[in-house]
Amino acid sequence: MLRFLAVILNSGGGVVRDDTSNEIQVKELGEFESKELAIDNACASLKCEHITKGIIVRGNNTGGYMVCDTQEFAEL
C-alpha cells in the first residue's frame, strides 16, 4: 500500500504554495493499493473530475489537484 497526496493546483494549473513557508500545499488522501483507487477516492471526496494522468479538476476553471504518491511528491 502506498500513501497518496493531492497537490493543490491553481486555476492556471500551477502548484499552490503557502505564502509564509513557501511549502507546497497538499491534502492527505490516505493509503491505497493503486493510483487509480486513490484518484477515484479523491474525485469522490474532493468533488472533482479526473481529466488525465492523475490531474483532477473542480468545475468552472477553479483549479484542482494532482494526485501523487509520497515518492512522486518528493520529486516535486
pLDDT of res. 37: 97
pLDDT of res. 51: 93
Which pTM value belongs to this model? 0.91
Q: How many domains does the chain have?
A: 1
Give every CB contact of residue 1 below 8 A, 6+ residues apart in sequence: 31, 32, 33
pLDDT of res. 76: 81
Looking up cell 494532482 gives 66
Residue 33 has pLDDT above 90, yes or no: yes
Of the pLDDT bands very low, low, confident and very high (cuts 50, 70, 90), residue 50 is: very high
DSSP letter string, 35-54: HHHHHHHHHHHHT-EEEETT
Of the pLDDT bands very low, low, confident and very high (cuts 50, 70, 90), residue 68 is: very high
For residue 60, which phi and psi values (nearest 5 degrees)? 60, 35
